[in-house]
Amino acid sequence: MPELNFNQQIKPVRNNLTKTAFLSRVAVLLALSLVGSYLKLPSPIGSIALDSLAGYLGVIIIGPGVGALILALGHLFSALGGGFVLGPFHFLIALLMAFCGFIFSLLLKYNVFLAVVVTAFCNGVLAIAILIPFFGLGFFTALTLSLTAAAIVNLLLAVVISNFLREKINNA
């Protein structure tokens, strides 16, 4: 069983993947994101779920571009399953999720713990703070705790799963 070390550096393993292997991994992660979008977490709105787990895993396993795309699409899957309660603002949130994926990727090069903490803050606090002019401070206050908790769960699960998959992925 691999040891979980939050002070390590994580690098994407996409070295010499064939197009087929690359597309297969992307497809599996998109499917996992879709499944995760149906695993809702308690929140005032219906779009907080485990959809970003696959995106953050994609950032770790494949790289920031693909991971960011999966994060954005995962949010849209989740929003669609929750009734698109925020309307077109879900597209802005999808872009913010992609941005969180890039932040996560940059910080993974230095420290996993730092990457999880800063990305959870970006996802759970900053992304909602951007929406204050549109929805008000009450919206921010109501969502911050549940969204930050969901971000931490998604990020930690991605890190733990990637540690278990790392050896198998490198050998594939």
Judge whether 39 and 81 are in contact, CB under 8 Å.
no
pLDDT at position 97 is 97
The single-letter DSSP state of residue 125 is I
Judge whether 37 and 49 are in contact, CB under 8 Å.
yes
The CATH fold assigned to 19-171 is Arp2/3 complex 21 kDa subunit ARPC3 (1.10.1760)
pLDDT at position 113 is 96
pLDDT at position 63 is 93
The Cα–Cα gap between 29 and 25 comes to: 6
Of the candidates 112, 155, 152, the one whose C-alpha atom is nearest the C-alpha of residue 5 is 112
User: Residues 23-78: pLDDT tens digits?
Assistant: 999 999 999 999 999 998 887 776 688 999 999 999 999 999 999 999 999 999 98
pLDDT band at 9 (very low <50, low <70, confident <90, very high): low
pLDDT at position 19 is 87
**Which distant-in-sequence residues (6+ apart) come within 8 Å of 69 by Cβ?**
55, 58, 98
User: Residues 94-153: pLDDT tens digits?
Assistant: 999 999 999 999 999 999 999 999 999 999 999 999 999 999 999 999 999 999 999 999
pLDDT at position 54 is 97
Annotated domain spans of the chain: 19-171
Of the candidates 35, 37, 27, 45, the one whose C-alpha atom is nearest the C-alpha of residue 77 is 37
